[in-house]
Amino acid sequence: MYASLKSIGAYVPKNVLSNFDLEKMVDTSDEWIKKRTGIEIRHIADKDEATSDLAYEAAKVAIKRAKIDVKDVDCIILATISPDYFCMPSTACLVAEKLGIKGVMAFDISAACSGFVYSLSIAKSFIESGLKNNVLVIGAEKLSAITDYTDRGTCVIFGDGAGAAVIGRSDDKKEAIVDVMAASDGKYSNLLITPGGGSKYPASEETLKKHMHYMKMAGNETFKIAVKTLTEDVIEILRRNGLKSEDVDRFIPHQANYRIIEYVRAKLDFPKERTVVTVAKYGNTSAASIPMAINDAYENNNLNYGDLMLLDTFGGGLTWGSALVRFAQK
């Protein structure tokens, strides 16, 4: 019996924030953003649209495509760094309520951009152990709510969106989640951090004044570690599964920066046509980035039943991870 990715779905908010819009907000240019990140636009949720609303829309698509009844979902794992509420209730509980499922196990996980891969690892274990039958895994972010639009080092990168997948059971090895690796190193916790509002620096006038409730990033240092970690991760997961890059049908890396993706792709010898890149149109959507990219590939007829996907991610914590997953949506 194998855990299997039965479906994918995503939701992209309708409002668009272009590089030209950002030129009017901070000292930047379309040329700089495109050249240094590959990003052209990002989508921004409405004021009254919360992360749970984005997650709910993506979840509905994934459940429909899995051809299961919503009542068959017996666990919801939601990865986010922009929950509806600080600490509680979890955004997963709010999504369960919106879906109309009562009594389901539902919880959020905090692993920043690696959240979807971390969640896959938990879902895989739940399914393989027989504890759960259909785990709804969601990566959802309203990063615009925690982005400092006076900080050009971060605001040009991030966007909003959600992606969801149903992880079910299969006895066919060709539908399996083959392997998931997830890791962390807290030594680098300061590189990507939202310092204010937690128990270390509880919300106060001072934390507000210093913009401490927004994401801070040491971009260039993060960039260098991202490239190294994303590359090593792939080498390791392929090695331990006795695979080569040519065995992978779709390389789907975290969409943080086109230059990072391009460096890792070239280093690992993945051809461009087998690498999924969505950063130009969505920006960096943290935990939502990988499921949104899978969905994008699927909706553009660039992903077929049985394809072996290699997911590769990196984010705050620091956290990182990779996964070898067969696309099992029929």
Measured CA to CA, the distance from residue 225 to residue 231 in angstroms comes to 10
Question: Measured from the CB of residue 258, what is the shortest distance to ligand UT7 in angstroms?
Answer: 9
CA triplet 295, 296, 302: central angle to 5 degrees?
100
Task: Return phi, psi of residue 83, to 5°.
Answer: -65, 160
Question: Among all residues, whose Cβ is closest to ligand UT7?
Answer: 219
Contacts to ligand UT7 by CB under 6 A: 28, 32, 36-37, 113, 152-153, 156-157, 219-220, 222-223, 226, 256-257, 260, 284, 314-315
Which H/E stretch holds residue 95?
helix 91-99
Measured CA to CA, the distance from residue 159 to residue 282 in angstroms comes to 6
Question: Measured from the CB of residue 24, what is the shortest distance to ligand UT7 in angstroms?
Answer: 13
Measured CA to CA, the distance from residue 152 to residue 24 in angstroms comes to 11
Whether 284 sits among the annotated catalytic residues: the reply is yes
Length of the chain: 330
Look at strands 75-79 and 105-109 and give their pairing. parallel
Whether 241 sits among the annotated catalytic residues: the reply is no
Look at strands 75-79 and 135-141 and give their pairing. parallel
User: For residues 6 and 254, which CB has a smaller minimum distance to ligand UT7 in the complex?
Assistant: 254
* Catalytic option among 43, 75, 93, 113: 113
User: For residues 7 and 275, which CB has a smaller minimum distance to ligand UT7 in the complex?
Assistant: 275
Whether 87 sits among the annotated catalytic residues: the reply is no
User: For residues 73 and 113, which CB has a smaller minimum distance to ligand UT7 in the complex?
Assistant: 113
User: For residues 37 and 80, which CB has a smaller minimum distance to ligand UT7 in the complex?
Assistant: 37
* Catalytic option among 19, 134, 257, 284: 284
User: For residues 197 and 317, which CB has a smaller minimum distance to ligand UT7 in the complex?
Assistant: 317
DSSP class of residue 158 equals B
- For the chain, the straight-line distance linking the first and the last C-alpha, in angstroms and rounded, comes to 18
* Catalytic option among 43, 254, 257, 295: 254
Question: Measured from the CB of residue 38, what is the shortest distance to ligand UT7 in angstroms?
Answer: 9
Q: Is 15 helix (H, G, I), strand (E, B) or coil?
A: strand
Tell me which residue of 8, 98, 93, 67 sits closest to 304, measured CA to CA: 8
Question: Measured from the CB of residue 185, what is the shortest distance to ligand UT7 in angstroms?
Answer: 14
Question: Measured from the CB of residue 224, what is the shortest distance to ligand UT7 in angstroms?
Answer: 9
Which amino acids are annotated catalytic?
113, 254, 284
